[in-house]
Amino acid sequence: MKYRKILLAYNGSQEGKRALVECGELANFLQAETHLLAVASMPPSLFLTEGFVPEELLEEEKKRTQAVLDEGIQTLRQRGFNASGHLAVGEPVEEICRMAKELGADLIVIGHNQRTSFAARWWKGSVGASLLDHAPCSILIALSKG
Our count of domains for the chain comes to: 1
pLDDT for residue 125 is more than 70: no
Residue 39 near residue 90 (C-beta atoms within 8 A): yes
The whole-chain average pLDDT of the chain stands at 84
Residue 38 near residue 68 (C-beta atoms within 8 A): yes
Predicted confidence band at 132 (pLDDT cuts at 50, 70, 90)? Answer: confident
% pLDDT > 70, the chain: 78
Q: Give the domain range for residue 120.
A: 5-144
pLDDT for residue 69 is more than 90: yes
Which value, in Å, is the radius of gyration of the alpha carbons in the chain? 15
| Comparison of pLDDT for 130 and 114, the residue scoring more | 130
Determine the pLDDT at residue 4.
95
Can you tell me the distance from the alpha carbon of 92 to that of 95, in angstroms, rounded to the nearest whole number?
5
pLDDT for residue 29 is more than 50: yes
Determine the pLDDT at residue 56.
79
User: Three-class SS string for the chain?
Assistant: CCCCEEEEECCCCHHHHHHHHHHHHHHHHHCCEEEEEEEECCCHHHCCCCCCCCHHHHHHHHHHHHHHHHHHHHHHHHCCCCCEEEEEECCHHHHHHHHHHHHCCCEEEEEEECCCCCCCCCCECCCCCEHHHHCCCEEEEEEECC
Q: What is the mean pLDDT of residues 86-100?
A: 93
User: For the ranges 3-7, 10-14, 72-76, which has the lowest average pLDDT?
Assistant: 10-14
User: For the ranges 50-59, 73-82, 108-117, which has the lowest average pLDDT?
Assistant: 50-59
pLDDT for residue 99 is more than 90: yes
Tell me the torsion sign for CA atoms 11, 12, 16, 21. positive
The CATH number of whichever domain residue 32 belongs to comes to 3.40.50.620
Residue 15 near residue 118 (C-beta atoms within 8 A): no
What pTM was estimated for this model as a whole?
Answer: 0.84
The alpha carbon of residue 145 and the mean position of all alpha carbons in its chain are separated, in whole angstroms, by 19
Determine the pLDDT at residue 95.
94
